[in-house]
A and B are shown apart, each in its own frame.
Chain A
Amino acid sequence: MDTFIQQLVNGLSLGSLYALIAVGYTVVYGILQLINFAHGEVFMIGAFGALTTSLVLFNGNTALWTLPVMIIGAVIASVVTAVLMERFAYRPLRHAPRLAPLITAIGISVFLQELVRLNYNQVPFTNWNPFNLPDAKSLIPFPEIDVVTGPAFQVGGVTIQREAIFTIGALLVCSVLLWWFINHTKMGHGMQAVSQDQDTARLMGIDVDRVIVVAFAVGAALAGVAGVAQGLQNHNIDFHMGFLAGLKAFIAAVLGGIGNVAGAVVGGLVLGVVEAMATQYIPGQFGGSPWKDVWAFILLILVLVFRPQGLLGEKVADRA
């Protein structure tokens, strides 16, 4: 029983991370029917934003009070990235065939990864490194903040990492804020309206362009928080971390029903738990962590075959 609860806790903490990123996919998809493939990179840049804030402002100080500032730094970095991306890459393609934005997203993804890899510690084409930042070509240690990292708690036979509590807590707080934003603000109502019927919403006086920017920004803000959580959990970050995390989060979004915000959260948690359980309970050589990504992808394919609208999604018309 203890192992089961242990894996459940592991799964929930992993799943919270997926859920935070998955919201970004789902919000944008709900409004534009666009898979923002580069969202994983927004998450990665969030993590680097937090790291940079810590290194530049606090010089590696790991007191708890720096954490909120780091989160703000992460959110600013990822939101700016996402908004620029929307403005300069996606907006001109709004009426292009569906293939065009997808290919653009792949391009952005490669570009952002390389930008961070090559230019994190130097201004492009120079050797100038004003803040003495580390080289991003390999793993960079992430600051280990007091209180939220450190020795794990023991509850009965179950080990609960402090980082896991932080991640799950971050998901809870973000979900509540997001729920409030969508249901109780004017902009939130606007987003709902645009996702139901863009043209009618426009006729009702909603600034659709602004709603779209806000959708990108909201998703990016949550991805930024996820970036911090990932940094704390893994104790290091690198330029490539967005690729797999982004894919997994996308699977989570599809699992929950893409376009459905609550679905993204549920999907993320389910995916995390399934991965953890698969690692533990699939017997023989095909269990274990080397195969957990394979199981996640197989889960995606199964969902698409048997319930393409996802766990919480409604049956939608063809989007192709």
Chain B
Amino acid sequence: MMKILTVPPGVVARHGSKAWPLGLAGAGLLILGSLLSWSYDPQVLGDLSISFNPGGLQIMAIALALFAVILLLARKGPLTFLGQWADTAKGLNALATWTLLFMAMVVVAIAVEAGGLINVQPGCWVSLLGAVALFVASRLVVSRKTRDLAEALLPGWAEILVIVVIMAALLFGTAYALNVADGWVLLLFLVFATAMAIGGTRAGLMSWLGHVSLRRRRELILASFAVAFCFPLTQGGSDANMSIAAQVLVFAAAAMGLNIVVGLAGLLDLGYIAFLGAGAYVGATLSTSGFATIGWKPPFIVVILVAACFSGMLGLIIGTPTLRVNGDYLAIVTLGFGEIFRLTMFNLDGNNGPDLTHGPNGIPAIPDLIFGNFNFGDTHYLLGIPLSRFSNYYFLLLILLAFVIMVFHRLNTSRIGRGWVAIREDEKAAEAMGVNVFGLKLLAFASGAFLAGMAGAIKAHVDVSVTPDQYVFLESAFLLAAIVLGGMGTIVGVLLGAVILKLLPEKLRFFADYRLMLFGLLLVLMMRFRPEGLVASRRRQLEFHEEDEELAVRVEGDIAEEVQG
């Protein structure tokens, strides 16, 4: 987008001085318009029809404008101290482009939903005009040289405050997005969130946050989990969103396990869902369900370990022969293994083999977990806020996810993780340096399978029933897509990818028919234009853009900082 919309340098030189006032005027218009009424029809996009009582979307527009004002004032005005750190021109560029998209989509949405452009009120046109002015102004500003953000230090309490504020914004943003029933509003909210995030990233906010998070790792992790734990409290006991959230967590935990295999060790596993399925089947057959086929009913803590070990064993069995052959073959063999697993579960119905899984019917009626007196099926109260069945599982899954992330992180930063990087980048060189290539690959494969088995055992109870058709190839592809979309080998990226891929299809029901098609297209486009994913670790980015010298220098800087910190 950036490349198409650049202005010739001559124009910038001649009109550059007008950018600042034009931008401020644009932002002002945007705010003014947002205070007025946007549409005649109060039914459309929440209520946007009352002047001086901005609705949700209008507040978003005002927030975008205020962000633009801050960036402008950082160029010239009271906030110039920010300007020496932040690349305001790039930030404005991205922010204004997305703001324009946001306003254009608002106009389209009102026209489509209320039946014609006639329903768009002057306020909306004023805002759109403001967005256009801001956009033009943003094309005329030029980047200045900025100082290295690693030197931008704030007092400790202020850095922690920034982390808390951002985390709170995340929490309330997610809660808001989940409670939006209207597809258009959700879509616009996503555009808004993207605008803020990209504007911030381009201005350097994200790289500053990166430096802060390196310094304040512990506080950041604590804050993230605090936010995740608070999430069910914002739902007021409603199960609708919590069931989605529980699914997202299962998916995220599985994706994080696969991330060890694909992201760290660079082994493409296309049958990973089978390990989740193996865990789920173990969890189901050892549960107290009346349809379970094995008589042994150990406590859940034993079941989850058995499930994990069983999956891990499968990983070893499938990994030992195939990890000796290379790359592409592994992808196909794992895909074949995934199919073998599904077909086997499908066939073990008593007619075509021993009756272990009830074939296509699967094992239904898996009871809720009970830990001591705590029944996961009941509604419990915390501070008077009801926490229903899915909220209980949500907490359990959150602990699991935390465990998976911890394993991932520990492995990644250990000697093993460095071995994996070496294997990924050049297997022969790694072997020559004395890295135990086969052992490390097998370890990645087995630990990924082990974690998936744990997740599967819990998933069986969350889903109540286990059937073979939950574990088709497409699910493996989705897991892989979450990793690719978010950024291979990163934690934040894969979590983001998992949330996007699981949440959007649930909420964007009006795309229901086309969502798989869009998913396929998305994979192709990602590989073409941003193969390193949304959140790329710099080192990873370098693997995809080897000729980028500047990036290489920055990666070295990062590694130096990591070592110091």
Contacts and interface: CB of A to CB of B under 8 A. Distances in A.
A99 B329 CA distance: 12
B332 A318 contact: no
Contacts of B327: 98, 319-320
A interface SS class: helix
B477 interface: yes
A107 B520 contact: yes
B interface SS class: helix
Chain A CB count within 10 A is highest, among B352, B516, B524, for B524
A288 B516 CA distance: 34
Given A111-B524, A118-B517, A308-B325, A250 B332 contact: yes
A102 B527 CA distance: 10
Contacts of B514: 114, 118
A250 B513 CA distance: 30
A304 interface: yes
B513 A118 contact: yes
Contact of B527 (A93, A288, A318, A320): A93
Interface string A175-187: 0000000000000
A310 to B, nearest CB: 11
B531 interface: yes
A300 B332 contact: yes
A57 interface: no
Contacts of A102: 268, 328, 331
Contacts, number: 141
B365 interface: no
Nearest to B327: A320
Q: How large is the interface on B (under 10, 10 to 19, 20 to 34, 35 or more residues)?
A: 35 or more
Chain B CB count within 10 A is highest, among A107, A118, A305, A318, for A107
Interface string B481-504: 100100010000000000000000
B340 A103 contact: no
Contacts of B477: 106, 110
B517 A96 contact: no
B156 interface: no
B268 A291 contact: no
Contacts of A293: 339, 343
A301 B321 contact: yes
Q: How large is the interface on A (under 10, 10 to 19, 20 to 34, 35 or more residues)?
A: 35 or more
B321 A114 contact: no
B344 interface: yes
A297 interface: yes
A96 B544 contact: yes
Contact of A106 (B344, B353, B480, B488): B480
A290 B345 CA distance: 11
B324 to A, nearest CB: 8
B343 A110 contact: no
Contacts of A64: none
B286 to A, nearest CB: 24
A172 interface: no
A294 interface: yes
A107 B531 CA distance: 13
B336 A93 contact: no
A318 B430 CA distance: 14
Nearest to B531: A100
B522 to A, nearest CB: 7
B474 A294 contact: no
A70 interface: no
B337 interface: yes
A254 interface: yes
A55 interface: no
The 6 closest A-B pairs by CB, nearest first: A107-B523, A111-B520, A110-B520, A320-B326, A320-B327, A114-B517
29 contacts: A93-B528, A96-B527, A97-B543, A103-B480, A103-B484, A104-B523, A106-B270, A106-B477, A106-B523, A107-B522, A110-B519, A110-B520, A111-B521, A113-B516, A243-B473, A247-B336, A285-B351, A291-B352, A294-B340, A294-B344, A297-B339, A297-B340, A298-B340, A300-B333, A301-B322, A304-B322, A305-B324, A318-B427, A318-B428
Interface of A: 33, 35, 89, 92-93, 96-104, 106-115, 118, 243, 247, 250-251, 254, 285-286, 288, 290-291, 293-294, 297-298, 300-301, 304-305, 308, 318-320
Given A114-B514, A118-B513, A301-B318, 7 more contacts: A97-B543, A103-B527, A106-B523, A107-B522, A108-B520, A254-B332, A304-B321
